[in-house]
Structure 1
Amino acid sequence: MNACPSCCYPMAPLGVDARLAGKVEIDLCFSCQGIWFDGMESTQMSPGGVVELFRLIHEHRDHQRHQLGADLRCPRCEGHLVGSLDIVKSGRFNYHRCSNGHGRFVTFAQFMIEKGFVRQLSGAEIEALKARIGVVHCTSCGAPVDIRKDSACTYCHSPIAILDPQAVEKALASYQQAEVKRTTLDPEALADAILMAERERGASPRAAGTELDLPIGDLIVSGIGIMAGMLKRL
């Protein structure tokens, strides 16, 4: 069990479906509202896994939150995590990565920006908020942000963001459609996969044969193997 890079308490493990097959094991700290991903686990999650994690984050939205520590440590090697910035369609998001490549730590809010559930406020929207609200809390680290003079958190440099119902609805619909497509068997794609597998498996010993010069039973055996892999994802 990994320790949270911020508070050092044990994180809660969560297994979600992987994009191709099997499970992706991630770790969550609800007190710090952070997620630890080993390696490239964030990109390996299936669309259904992203939706499952979003729902879990929503269930714990009222959990008492700790401000992130100034010195975040990798739960694998205990090295310092390096602040990093990336850009997706929904805007910029930041995270802290291990310089030894063990993984990265991202807050719930930044994860939701990465996956399209949260959008960043425009300059006009921030100006409108200034007239009504002076200080807000950063959705990433929890630090106070005086939007009358700052357009981003001065502590972690995250831009001001908002959970937009339209963005949530659009993102959920997109992930759900992708999950249906991922878990639906396509007969034509299955047939192509079987033939391709047999060509690759028998290329050397049967190089001089015809395209369909396959031993009886090969297509069935290959089909069973490919089907089994697909059914594991359903």
Structure 2
Amino acid sequence: MNDLPQTGLSACPSCTQPMTRLELPHRIFGTLVLDLCFPCQGIWFDQYESVQINPGGIIDLFKLIHAHRSDQRQPHPAILRCPRCRDKLFAGLDVVRSGRFTYHRCLQNHGRFTSFAQFMIEKGFVRQLAPAEITALAARIGTFHCTGCGAPVDIRTQASCNNCGSPISILDAEAVEKALADYQQKESKRTRLDPETLADSILAIEKQRSQQSAPLGCAGRRPVSIGRRARS
């Protein structure tokens, strides 16, 4: 995991300040470069990058995000813009085993902007709360700041963020331990690939790259667009 020289940096879709470039290992071969904004706690993924990080790289990225968990965060504005074309980004919703996660995507297929917390849902480090847990939490704290965009959420009356649609979730120690063990196992298996299997994998990814002109969403699947709901 290497920080690249601070040249030619992309502008954050949220605050427009230069983002930090981070080099991570590709899941098949070589490396890829992500753009991170720590003040806004967001990551810009060029098309398909989120699913192309190898397991060891996901662990490294989780550790980096976790190290910045106490940083003061800037809330996201109502309109986010693509760092490649400056077009408005549109909210999207996807579903994985650990629950729903939200992001903002470029309609020109340049990529997507995901908050740190939503990335951790996508990769299984964060657990979404059951209705009974939300009720118990509401009795104790009432409101908190959304893990997706930083907007205030009144969990006594809201099941998700009215601003970005992010569900209510927590960083659960058991979920983190399970996810880390899973990625470590995958990384160990990946490093033991025999040359023939590796060659097949390289051919597969080259085929995928040749098909990237297909109109798929930036997360590698067809996204579901969600409209911005009015504030209550």
Q: TM-score, normalised to structure 1's length? A: 0.79
SS in 2 for 1:131: helix
Match of 1:158 in 2: 166
> Could you tell me how far apart the structure 2 residues matched to 1:131 and 1:71 are?
33
1:63 and 2:76 correspond: no
String of CA shifts for 1:114-138, please: whole Å, max 9, x gaps. 0000011000101111221111111
Structure 1 unpaired stretches of 5+ = 196-234
From 94, 102, 116, give the equivalent of 1:94: 102
Match of 1:20 in 2: 28
Q: What does 1:62-211 correspond to in 2, within 5 Å? A: 62-186=70-194, 190=195
**CA spacing shift, 1:39–1:191, aligned 2, 3 Å:** closer
Structure 2 unpaired stretches of 5+ = 1-8, 201-232
Q: How many residues align?
A: 192
Fraction of identical pairs, as percent: 61
The structure whose residues are more often helix, as a share, is 1
Matching residue's letter, 1:46:
N
Matching residue's letter, 1:128:
A
Q: How far does residue 10 in structure 1 lie from its aligned partner after superposition? A: 0.2
**CA spacing shift, 1:192–1:118, aligned 2, 3 Å:** closer
SS in 1 for 2:124: coil
Q: How far does residue 192 in structure 1 lie from its aligned partner after superposition? A: 7.1
Matching residue's letter, 1:167:
A
Match of 1:224 in 2: none
> Could you tell me how far apart the structure 1 residues matched to 2:19 and 2:199 are?
42
Q: How far does residue 181 in structure 1 lie from its aligned partner after superposition? A: 0.8
> Could you tell me how far apart the structure 2 residues matched to 1:104 and 1:148 are?
31
Match of 1:45 in 2: 53
> Could you tell me how far apart the structure 2 residues matched to 1:19 and 1:88 are?
19
> Could you tell me how far apart the structure 2 residues matched to 1:62 and 1:165 are?
17
Match of 1:210 in 2: none
RCO comparison, higher one (Cα < 8 Å, 6+): 2
> Could you tell me how far apart the structure 1 residues matched to 2:94 and 2:143 are?
26
> Could you tell me how far apart the structure 2 residues matched to 1:8 and 1:44 are?
26
String of CA shifts for 1:32-67, please: whole Å, max 9, x gaps. 000000111000000011001000001111111000
Matching residue's letter, 2:73:
R
> Could you tell me how far apart the structure 2 residues matched to 1:91 and 1:11 are?
28
> Could you tell me how far apart the structure 2 residues matched to 1:64 and 1:129 are?
23
Q: TM-score, normalised to structure 2's length? A: 0.80
> Could you tell me how far apart the structure 2 residues matched to 1:15 and 1:64 are?
24
Higher Cα Rg: structure 1 or 2?
A: 1
Matching residue's letter, 1:6:
S
Q: How far does residue 91 in structure 1 lie from its aligned partner after superposition? A: 0.3
SS in 2 for 1:130: helix
> Could you tell me how far apart the structure 2 residues matched to 1:50 and 1:27 are?
14
Matching residue's letter, 1:183:
T
SS in 1 for 2:140: coil
SS in 1 for 2:84: coil
String of CA shifts for 1:4-24, please: whole Å, max 9, x gaps. 000000000000000000001
